[in-house]
Structure 1
Protein backbone atom coordinates (compact mmCIF):
# COMPACT_ATOMS: atom_id res chain seq x y z
CA UNK A 1 0.00 0.00 0.00
CA UNK A 2 1.35 3.42 -0.96
CA UNK A 3 2.19 5.89 1.79
CA UNK A 4 0.38 8.48 -0.33
CA UNK A 5 -2.82 6.74 0.76
CA UNK A 6 -2.49 8.53 4.10
CA UNK A 7 -3.66 11.67 2.30
CA UNK A 8 -7.05 10.12 1.58
CA UNK A 9 -7.74 7.97 4.66
CA UNK A 10 -7.17 8.24 8.43
CA UNK A 11 -3.71 7.14 9.55
CA UNK A 12 -5.09 4.38 11.78
CA UNK A 13 -7.11 2.89 8.93
CA UNK A 14 -4.12 3.05 6.61
CA UNK A 15 -1.87 1.32 9.14
CA UNK A 16 -4.51 -1.24 10.11
CA UNK A 17 -4.66 -2.27 6.45
CA UNK A 18 -0.92 -2.96 6.40
CA UNK A 19 0.34 0.46 5.39
CA UNK A 20 3.92 1.49 6.15
CA UNK A 21 5.41 4.85 7.09
CA UNK A 22 8.91 5.86 6.05
CA UNK A 23 9.53 9.25 7.65
CA UNK A 24 8.67 11.13 10.87
CA UNK A 25 6.78 13.78 8.89
CA UNK A 26 3.97 11.32 8.14
CA UNK A 27 3.55 10.14 11.73
CA UNK A 28 0.64 11.40 13.81
CA UNK A 29 1.40 12.54 17.40
CA UNK A 30 -0.20 9.40 18.87
CA UNK A 31 1.67 7.09 16.49
CA UNK A 32 4.89 8.94 17.20
CA UNK A 33 4.39 8.48 20.94
CA UNK A 34 3.75 4.74 20.70
CA UNK A 35 6.65 4.23 18.30
CA UNK A 36 9.04 6.16 20.53
CA UNK A 37 7.95 4.10 23.53
CA UNK A 38 8.59 0.88 21.62
CA UNK A 39 12.03 2.04 20.49
CA UNK A 40 12.99 3.34 23.93
CA UNK A 41 12.08 0.01 25.51
CA UNK A 42 14.32 -1.81 23.03
CA UNK A 43 17.24 0.62 23.32
CA UNK A 44 17.12 0.81 27.11
CA UNK A 45 16.89 -2.97 27.42
CA UNK A 46 19.88 -3.49 25.10
CA UNK A 47 21.95 -0.91 26.96
CA UNK A 48 21.05 -2.28 30.39
CA UNK A 49 21.53 -5.86 29.24
CA UNK A 50 24.95 -5.09 27.78
CA UNK A 51 26.00 -3.23 30.93
CA UNK A 52 25.04 -6.12 33.17
CA UNK A 53 26.61 -8.81 31.00
CA UNK A 54 29.84 -6.84 30.58
CA UNK A 55 30.60 -7.30 34.27
CA UNK A 56 30.67 -11.09 33.81
CA UNK A 57 33.09 -11.26 30.87
CA UNK A 58 36.15 -11.93 33.00
CA UNK A 59 34.28 -14.63 34.90
CA UNK A 60 34.14 -16.77 31.75
CA UNK A 61 35.96 -20.07 32.32
CA UNK A 62 38.04 -19.77 29.15
CA UNK A 63 39.07 -17.47 26.32
CA UNK A 64 36.36 -18.79 24.00
CA UNK A 65 33.66 -18.00 26.54
CA UNK A 66 35.05 -14.52 27.14
CA UNK A 67 35.16 -13.81 23.42
CA UNK A 68 31.53 -14.91 23.08
CA UNK A 69 30.47 -12.70 26.00
CA UNK A 70 32.41 -9.75 24.58
CA UNK A 71 30.76 -10.22 21.19
CA UNK A 72 27.31 -10.23 22.76
CA UNK A 73 28.03 -7.01 24.67
CA UNK A 74 29.49 -5.29 21.59
CA UNK A 75 26.59 -6.23 19.34
CA UNK A 76 23.92 -5.29 21.88
CA UNK A 77 25.46 -1.83 22.11
CA UNK A 78 25.48 -1.67 18.33
CA UNK A 79 21.81 -2.66 18.21
CA UNK A 80 20.97 0.10 20.66
CA UNK A 81 22.90 2.61 18.56
CA UNK A 82 21.06 1.61 15.38
CA UNK A 83 17.62 2.10 16.87
CA UNK A 84 18.70 5.20 18.79
CA UNK A 85 19.66 6.76 15.44
CA UNK A 86 16.05 6.32 14.32
CA UNK A 87 14.84 7.86 17.57
CA UNK A 88 17.08 10.82 16.78
CA UNK A 89 15.10 11.41 13.58
CA UNK A 90 12.05 11.89 15.82
CA UNK A 91 13.85 14.43 18.01
CA UNK A 92 15.52 12.33 20.72
CA UNK A 93 18.72 13.88 22.07
CA UNK A 94 21.00 11.09 20.86
CA UNK A 95 24.18 12.74 22.18
CA UNK A 96 22.93 12.60 25.77
CA UNK A 97 20.57 9.63 25.74
CA UNK A 98 22.93 6.78 26.48
CA UNK A 99 25.70 8.59 28.32
CA UNK A 100 23.95 10.06 31.33
CA UNK A 101 22.19 7.12 32.90
CA UNK A 102 23.41 4.40 35.32
CA UNK A 103 22.70 1.39 33.12
CA UNK A 104 24.42 -0.92 35.60
CA UNK A 105 21.96 -0.09 38.41
CA UNK A 106 20.12 -3.15 39.72
CA UNK A 107 17.50 -3.87 42.36
CA UNK A 108 17.99 -6.39 45.17
CA UNK A 109 18.22 -9.99 43.97
CA UNK A 110 15.06 -10.96 45.89
CA UNK A 111 12.98 -8.06 44.53
CA UNK A 112 9.83 -8.87 42.58
CA UNK A 113 8.98 -6.20 40.01
CA UNK A 114 6.59 -8.25 37.91
CA UNK A 115 6.15 -6.57 34.54
CA UNK A 116 6.12 -3.04 35.98
CA UNK A 117 8.55 -0.32 34.97
CA UNK A 118 11.09 0.72 37.56
CA UNK A 119 13.32 3.74 37.81
CA UNK A 120 13.97 6.42 35.21
CA UNK A 121 14.42 4.35 32.06
CA UNK A 122 12.29 2.10 29.86
CA UNK A 123 14.18 -1.19 30.13
CA UNK A 124 12.13 -4.35 30.56
CA UNK A 125 11.85 -5.26 34.23
CA UNK A 126 14.04 -8.36 33.81
CA UNK A 127 17.06 -6.12 33.18
CA UNK A 128 16.77 -4.58 36.65
CA UNK A 129 17.82 -7.80 38.37
CA UNK A 130 21.49 -8.55 39.13
CA UNK A 131 23.47 -11.44 37.72
CA UNK A 132 25.33 -13.71 40.13
CA UNK A 133 28.32 -15.28 38.47
CA UNK A 134 29.02 -16.89 35.13
CA UNK A 135 26.52 -19.76 35.24
CA UNK A 136 23.72 -17.42 36.30
CA UNK A 137 24.60 -14.98 33.49
CA UNK A 138 24.62 -17.76 30.88
CA UNK A 139 21.27 -19.04 32.11
CA UNK A 140 19.71 -15.61 31.94
CA UNK A 141 21.21 -15.01 28.48
CA UNK A 142 19.59 -18.20 27.17
CA UNK A 143 16.16 -17.64 28.67
CA UNK A 144 16.01 -13.96 27.72
CA UNK A 145 17.68 -14.63 24.38
CA UNK A 146 14.83 -16.99 23.48
CA UNK A 147 12.34 -14.29 24.46
CA UNK A 148 14.17 -11.64 22.43
CA UNK A 149 14.16 -13.79 19.29
CA UNK A 150 10.40 -14.34 19.62
CA UNK A 151 9.69 -10.67 20.33
CA UNK A 152 11.85 -9.42 17.45
CA UNK A 153 10.27 -11.98 15.14
CA UNK A 154 7.07 -10.01 15.54
CA UNK A 155 8.65 -6.55 15.50
CA UNK A 156 10.49 -7.04 12.20
CA UNK A 157 7.11 -6.41 10.58
CA UNK A 158 6.53 -3.12 12.41
CA UNK A 159 4.78 -0.43 10.38
CA UNK A 160 7.61 2.11 10.55
CA UNK A 161 9.75 0.84 7.68
CA UNK A 162 13.19 2.10 8.82
CA UNK A 163 12.68 0.41 12.18
CA UNK A 164 11.45 -2.80 10.56
CA UNK A 165 14.61 -2.87 8.45
CA UNK A 166 16.76 -2.33 11.54
CA UNK A 167 15.05 -5.17 13.40
CA UNK A 168 15.43 -7.48 10.41
CA UNK A 169 19.18 -6.82 10.48
CA UNK A 170 19.36 -7.26 14.26
CA UNK A 171 17.36 -10.49 14.53
CA UNK A 172 20.00 -12.86 13.03
CA UNK A 173 22.59 -11.51 15.47
CA UNK A 174 20.24 -12.02 18.41
CA UNK A 175 19.69 -15.57 17.20
CA UNK A 176 23.45 -16.03 17.25
CA UNK A 177 23.60 -14.66 20.79
CA UNK A 178 21.06 -17.30 21.76
CA UNK A 179 23.13 -20.01 20.06
CA UNK A 180 26.25 -18.90 21.93
CA UNK A 181 24.33 -18.96 25.18
CA UNK A 182 22.98 -22.45 24.51
CA UNK A 183 26.49 -23.65 23.71
CA UNK A 184 27.71 -22.26 27.03
CA UNK A 185 24.76 -23.66 28.98
CA UNK A 186 25.20 -27.09 27.41
CA UNK A 187 28.83 -27.11 28.51
CA UNK A 188 27.86 -26.16 32.06
CA UNK A 189 25.05 -28.72 32.18
CA UNK A 190 27.48 -31.50 31.26
CA UNK A 191 29.01 -31.14 34.75
CA UNK A 192 26.68 -32.85 37.29
CA UNK A 193 28.12 -30.73 40.08
CA UNK A 194 26.74 -27.63 38.37
CA UNK A 195 23.19 -28.92 38.05
CA UNK A 196 21.83 -27.59 41.41
CA UNK A 197 23.08 -24.06 40.69
CA UNK A 198 21.75 -24.14 37.12
CA UNK A 199 18.33 -25.32 38.26
CA UNK A 200 18.29 -22.56 40.88
CA UNK A 201 19.14 -19.96 38.22
CA UNK A 202 16.44 -21.31 35.90
CA UNK A 203 13.88 -21.13 38.70
CA UNK A 204 14.95 -17.55 39.42
CA UNK A 205 15.01 -16.21 35.85
CA UNK A 206 12.16 -18.09 34.25
CA UNK A 207 9.29 -16.11 35.85
CA UNK A 208 11.17 -12.85 35.44
CA UNK A 209 11.72 -13.41 31.73
CA UNK A 210 8.09 -14.49 31.36
CA UNK A 211 7.07 -11.13 32.84
CA UNK A 212 8.91 -9.34 30.00
CA UNK A 213 6.04 -10.26 27.66
CA UNK A 214 3.73 -7.97 29.61
CA UNK A 215 0.17 -8.41 30.81
CA UNK A 216 -2.02 -10.80 28.81
CA UNK A 217 -4.78 -8.18 29.02
CA UNK A 218 -2.71 -5.17 27.98
CA UNK A 219 -4.79 -2.21 26.82
CA UNK A 220 -1.72 -0.80 25.08
CA UNK A 221 -1.60 -3.80 22.74
CA UNK A 222 -4.88 -2.78 21.11
CA UNK A 223 -3.47 0.66 20.38
CA UNK A 224 -0.23 -0.76 19.05
CA UNK A 225 -2.13 -3.18 16.83
CA UNK A 226 -4.18 -0.35 15.32
CA UNK A 227 -0.93 1.40 14.46
CA UNK A 228 0.68 -1.70 12.96
CA UNK A 229 3.31 -1.77 15.70
CA UNK A 230 2.22 -5.13 17.11
CA UNK A 231 0.27 -8.04 15.72
CA UNK A 232 0.44 -10.92 18.20
CA UNK A 233 -1.07 -10.73 21.71
CA UNK A 234 1.28 -10.91 24.68
CA UNK A 235 -0.17 -14.20 25.86
CA UNK A 236 0.47 -15.88 22.49
CA UNK A 237 4.10 -14.73 22.46
CA UNK A 238 4.56 -15.86 26.05
CA UNK A 239 3.12 -19.29 25.25
CA UNK A 240 5.51 -19.65 22.30
CA UNK A 241 8.41 -18.76 24.61
CA UNK A 242 7.31 -21.22 27.29
CA UNK A 243 7.07 -24.01 24.71
CA UNK A 244 10.47 -23.24 23.16
CA UNK A 245 12.09 -22.89 26.58
CA UNK A 246 10.60 -26.13 27.83
CA UNK A 247 11.90 -28.02 24.80
CA UNK A 248 15.36 -26.52 25.12
CA UNK A 249 15.73 -27.19 28.83
CA UNK A 250 14.50 -30.74 28.28
CA UNK A 251 17.16 -31.29 25.62
CA UNK A 252 19.82 -30.02 28.01
CA UNK A 253 18.63 -32.26 30.83
CA UNK A 254 17.52 -29.23 32.83
CA UNK A 255 13.76 -29.61 32.49
CA UNK A 256 11.36 -29.58 35.39
Structure 2
Protein backbone atom coordinates (compact mmCIF):
# COMPACT_ATOMS: atom_id res chain seq x y z
CA UNK A 1 0.00 0.00 0.00
CA UNK A 2 1.37 3.48 -0.85
CA UNK A 3 2.37 5.45 2.24
CA UNK A 4 -0.07 8.25 1.42
CA UNK A 5 -2.99 5.83 1.34
CA UNK A 6 -1.74 4.10 4.49
CA UNK A 7 -1.78 7.44 6.31
CA UNK A 8 -5.22 8.37 4.99
CA UNK A 9 -6.52 5.12 6.48
CA UNK A 10 -5.14 5.99 9.91
CA UNK A 11 -1.73 4.33 9.67
CA UNK A 12 1.19 5.39 11.83
CA UNK A 13 4.89 5.82 11.09
CA UNK A 14 7.46 4.89 13.70
CA UNK A 15 10.87 6.04 12.43
CA UNK A 16 12.46 8.44 9.93
CA UNK A 17 13.21 5.61 7.50
CA UNK A 18 11.07 5.61 4.39
CA UNK A 19 9.12 8.75 5.23
CA UNK A 20 7.97 10.65 2.10
CA UNK A 21 9.64 14.07 1.64
CA UNK A 22 6.35 16.00 1.83
CA UNK A 23 5.37 14.29 5.07
CA UNK A 24 8.84 14.87 6.48
CA UNK A 25 8.66 18.60 5.69
CA UNK A 26 5.28 19.02 7.39
CA UNK A 27 6.33 16.93 10.40
CA UNK A 28 9.51 18.95 10.86
CA UNK A 29 7.50 22.17 10.61
CA UNK A 30 5.17 20.99 13.37
CA UNK A 31 8.05 19.94 15.61
CA UNK A 32 9.96 23.17 14.95
CA UNK A 33 6.95 25.26 15.91
CA UNK A 34 6.61 23.34 19.17
CA UNK A 35 10.32 23.47 20.03
CA UNK A 36 10.65 27.18 19.21
CA UNK A 37 7.51 28.05 21.17
CA UNK A 38 8.67 26.14 24.25
CA UNK A 39 12.16 27.69 24.10
CA UNK A 40 10.70 31.17 23.68
CA UNK A 41 8.10 30.53 26.37
CA UNK A 42 10.75 29.38 28.81
CA UNK A 43 13.03 32.33 28.04
CA UNK A 44 10.20 34.82 28.41
CA UNK A 45 8.82 33.35 31.62
CA UNK A 46 12.23 33.31 33.29
CA UNK A 47 11.80 36.98 34.25
CA UNK A 48 8.70 36.04 36.23
CA UNK A 49 10.84 34.19 38.74
CA UNK A 50 12.09 37.47 40.15
CA UNK A 51 8.66 39.11 39.91
CA UNK A 52 7.13 36.41 42.12
CA UNK A 53 5.66 37.83 45.34
CA UNK A 54 6.62 34.84 47.49
CA UNK A 55 8.65 31.65 47.67
CA UNK A 56 5.79 29.41 46.56
CA UNK A 57 5.24 31.54 43.48
CA UNK A 58 8.98 31.68 42.79
CA UNK A 59 9.16 27.87 42.86
CA UNK A 60 6.18 27.62 40.49
CA UNK A 61 7.73 30.08 38.02
CA UNK A 62 11.06 28.26 38.19
CA UNK A 63 9.38 24.92 37.53
CA UNK A 64 7.52 26.23 34.51
CA UNK A 65 10.68 27.83 33.09
CA UNK A 66 12.69 24.62 33.55
CA UNK A 67 10.08 22.19 32.24
CA UNK A 68 9.31 24.18 29.10
CA UNK A 69 13.00 24.06 28.19
CA UNK A 70 12.97 20.32 28.88
CA UNK A 71 9.94 19.85 26.63
CA UNK A 72 11.77 21.62 23.83
CA UNK A 73 14.77 19.35 24.26
CA UNK A 74 12.63 16.21 24.14
CA UNK A 75 11.11 17.07 20.78
CA UNK A 76 14.39 18.48 19.46
CA UNK A 77 15.90 15.04 20.05
CA UNK A 78 13.26 13.61 17.70
CA UNK A 79 14.25 16.21 15.11
CA UNK A 80 17.88 15.14 15.53
CA UNK A 81 16.87 11.70 14.26
CA UNK A 82 16.06 13.42 10.97
CA UNK A 83 19.46 15.11 10.88
CA UNK A 84 18.89 18.33 12.83
CA UNK A 85 22.03 19.62 14.54
CA UNK A 86 20.78 20.22 18.07
CA UNK A 87 23.64 22.47 19.16
CA UNK A 88 23.24 24.78 16.16
CA UNK A 89 19.46 24.77 16.43
CA UNK A 90 19.50 25.87 20.06
CA UNK A 91 21.60 28.91 19.12
CA UNK A 92 19.71 29.80 15.95
CA UNK A 93 17.61 32.56 17.52
CA UNK A 94 17.45 34.84 20.53
CA UNK A 95 14.62 33.08 22.35
CA UNK A 96 14.17 35.98 24.76
CA UNK A 97 13.71 38.53 21.94
CA UNK A 98 10.36 40.31 22.00
CA UNK A 99 8.52 42.96 19.99
CA UNK A 100 6.68 45.94 21.48
CA UNK A 101 3.51 45.06 23.39
CA UNK A 102 1.61 47.36 21.02
CA UNK A 103 2.94 45.64 17.88
CA UNK A 104 0.44 43.98 15.54
CA UNK A 105 2.08 40.89 14.05
CA UNK A 106 -1.00 38.63 13.81
CA UNK A 107 -0.02 34.98 13.34
CA UNK A 108 3.05 35.69 11.20
CA UNK A 109 6.43 33.97 11.52
CA UNK A 110 9.47 36.20 11.91
CA UNK A 111 12.93 35.64 10.48
CA UNK A 112 12.74 31.86 10.31
CA UNK A 113 11.77 31.64 13.98
CA UNK A 114 8.87 29.16 14.16
CA UNK A 115 7.52 30.16 17.59
CA UNK A 116 3.81 30.89 17.80
CA UNK A 117 3.21 34.62 17.41
CA UNK A 118 2.04 35.03 21.02
CA UNK A 119 5.58 34.29 22.20
CA UNK A 120 6.90 37.39 20.43
CA UNK A 121 5.14 39.64 22.95
CA UNK A 122 6.76 40.54 26.29
CA UNK A 123 5.35 39.96 29.73
CA UNK A 124 4.71 43.00 31.91
CA UNK A 125 4.95 41.97 35.53
CA UNK A 126 3.69 39.16 37.76
CA UNK A 127 -0.06 39.45 37.19
CA UNK A 128 0.45 39.70 33.43
CA UNK A 129 2.72 36.62 33.46
CA UNK A 130 0.25 34.56 35.47
CA UNK A 131 -2.70 35.54 33.28
CA UNK A 132 -0.77 34.70 30.13
CA UNK A 133 0.37 31.39 31.59
CA UNK A 134 -3.24 30.39 32.28
CA UNK A 135 -4.86 31.28 28.96
CA UNK A 136 -1.92 30.11 26.85
CA UNK A 137 -1.52 27.01 29.00
CA UNK A 138 -5.15 26.07 28.36
CA UNK A 139 -4.60 26.65 24.64
CA UNK A 140 -1.50 24.48 24.76
CA UNK A 141 -3.51 21.72 26.38
CA UNK A 142 -6.02 21.74 23.52
CA UNK A 143 -3.26 21.91 20.91
CA UNK A 144 -1.25 19.10 22.52
CA UNK A 145 -4.31 16.84 22.64
CA UNK A 146 -4.59 17.33 18.89
CA UNK A 147 -0.87 16.85 18.19
CA UNK A 148 -0.74 13.75 20.41
CA UNK A 149 -2.96 12.04 17.82
CA UNK A 150 -0.38 12.63 15.08
CA UNK A 151 0.49 9.77 12.76
CA UNK A 152 4.19 9.98 13.68
CA UNK A 153 4.14 7.69 16.71
CA UNK A 154 7.35 8.86 18.47
CA UNK A 155 6.09 12.45 18.50
CA UNK A 156 2.61 11.44 19.65
CA UNK A 157 4.04 9.47 22.57
CA UNK A 158 6.37 12.27 23.62
CA UNK A 159 3.61 14.86 23.53
CA UNK A 160 1.28 12.73 25.62
CA UNK A 161 3.94 12.67 28.34
CA UNK A 162 4.51 16.43 28.01
CA UNK A 163 0.78 17.18 28.18
CA UNK A 164 0.49 16.06 31.80
CA UNK A 165 3.21 18.50 32.85
CA UNK A 166 1.63 21.31 30.87
CA UNK A 167 -1.65 20.66 32.69
CA UNK A 168 0.21 21.12 35.96
CA UNK A 169 1.53 24.47 34.70
CA UNK A 170 -2.06 25.58 34.19
CA UNK A 171 -3.00 24.41 37.69
CA UNK A 172 -0.11 26.43 39.15
CA UNK A 173 -1.22 29.44 37.12
CA UNK A 174 -4.82 29.15 38.30
CA UNK A 175 -3.64 28.94 41.92
CA UNK A 176 -1.67 32.14 41.41
CA UNK A 177 -4.53 33.85 39.58
CA UNK A 178 -6.93 32.96 42.39
CA UNK A 179 -4.65 34.67 44.91
CA UNK A 180 -4.35 37.72 42.67
CA UNK A 181 -8.13 37.93 42.14
CA UNK A 182 -8.68 37.83 45.89
CA UNK A 183 -8.54 41.62 45.99
CA UNK A 184 -10.40 44.18 43.89
CA UNK A 185 -7.14 45.72 42.72
CA UNK A 186 -5.86 42.30 41.71
CA UNK A 187 -9.04 41.49 39.79
CA UNK A 188 -8.78 44.75 37.86
CA UNK A 189 -5.15 44.02 36.94
CA UNK A 190 -5.97 40.43 36.02
CA UNK A 191 -8.86 41.46 33.77
CA UNK A 192 -6.63 43.98 32.03
CA UNK A 193 -3.99 41.29 31.42
CA UNK A 194 -6.56 38.77 30.18
CA UNK A 195 -8.00 41.35 27.79
CA UNK A 196 -4.52 41.84 26.34
CA UNK A 197 -3.61 38.17 25.98
CA UNK A 198 -6.95 36.67 24.91
CA UNK A 199 -6.87 37.73 21.20
CA UNK A 200 -3.16 36.96 20.91
CA UNK A 201 -3.66 33.44 22.23
CA UNK A 202 -6.69 32.98 19.95
CA UNK A 203 -4.43 33.66 16.95
CA UNK A 204 -2.26 30.64 17.82
CA UNK A 205 -4.98 28.33 16.49
CA UNK A 206 -4.49 29.59 12.96
CA UNK A 207 -6.99 30.86 10.39
CA UNK A 208 -10.44 29.45 9.74
CA UNK A 209 -10.83 27.41 6.56
CA UNK A 210 -7.11 26.63 6.38
CA UNK A 211 -6.03 24.86 3.18
CA UNK A 212 -2.98 23.57 5.00
CA UNK A 213 -5.24 21.78 7.49
CA UNK A 214 -6.63 19.56 4.74
CA UNK A 215 -3.13 18.62 3.66
CA UNK A 216 -2.12 17.75 7.20
CA UNK A 217 -5.35 15.83 7.78
CA UNK A 218 -4.60 13.57 4.84
CA UNK A 219 -1.21 12.84 6.38
CA UNK A 220 -2.71 12.07 9.79
CA UNK A 221 -0.88 15.02 11.34
CA UNK A 222 -4.09 16.92 12.09
CA UNK A 223 -7.65 15.78 12.86
CA UNK A 224 -9.77 18.71 14.04
CA UNK A 225 -10.13 22.10 12.37
CA UNK A 226 -8.62 25.29 13.72
CA UNK A 227 -12.12 26.58 14.42
CA UNK A 228 -13.08 23.52 16.50
CA UNK A 229 -9.89 23.71 18.57
CA UNK A 230 -10.28 27.45 19.15
CA UNK A 231 -13.89 26.98 20.28
CA UNK A 232 -12.85 24.25 22.73
CA UNK A 233 -10.17 26.51 24.20
CA UNK A 234 -12.63 29.37 24.60
CA UNK A 235 -15.07 27.12 26.46
CA UNK A 236 -12.37 25.69 28.73
CA UNK A 237 -10.84 29.09 29.45
CA UNK A 238 -14.19 30.67 30.35
CA UNK A 239 -15.03 27.70 32.58
CA UNK A 240 -11.70 28.07 34.40
CA UNK A 241 -11.86 31.85 34.80
CA UNK A 242 -15.52 32.32 35.74
CA UNK A 243 -15.19 30.89 39.28
CA UNK A 244 -12.44 33.44 39.90
CA UNK A 245 -14.70 36.31 38.85
CA UNK A 246 -12.69 36.75 35.66
CA UNK A 247 -14.84 34.96 33.08
TM-score between the two structures when normalised by the length of structure 2: 0.98
Which of 51, 56, 62 aligns to 1:64? It is 56
What is the CA-CA distance between 1:86 and the residue it aligns to?
A: 0.3
Question: Could you give the per-residue CA deviations for residues 10-48 of structure 1, whole angstroms, max 9, x where no partner exists?
Answer: 212101111111111121000000000000000000000
- Displacement of 1:100 in angstroms is 3.7
Q: CA deviation at 1:64?
A: 0.5
Structure 2 counterparts to residues 63-212 of structure 1, below 5 A: 63-212=55-204
Aligned counterpart for 1:50 among listed residues 42, 49, 63 = 42
Deviation at 1:250, TM superposition (A): 1.1
- Note if 1:21 corresponds to 2:31: no
Structure 1's consecutive aligned runs of 4 or more residues displaced over 3 angstroms after TM superposition are none
Partner SS state of residue 146, structure 1:
helix
SS at match of 1:33: helix
Describe the superposition over 1:188-221 as per-residue Cα deviations: whole angstroms up to 9, x where unpaired.
0111111221111111000000000000111111
For residues 167 and 54 of structure 2, what CA distance do their matches in structure 1 show? 22
Q: 1:230 aligns with which of 203, 222, 243?
A: 222
Distance 1:88 1:246 in 2: 39
Question: Structure 2 CA distance, aligned partners of 1:106 and 1:80?
Answer: 19
Distance in 1 of aligned mates of 2:125 and 2:201? 18
Deviation at 1:112, TM superposition (A): 1.5
Q: Aligned match of 2:208 in 216, 220, 225?
A: 216
Question: Unmatched 5+ residue regions in structure 1?
Answer: 1-8
Distance 2:80 2:225 in 1: 29
Cα drift, residue 103 of structure 1: 0.5
CA RMSD after TM alignment: 0.8
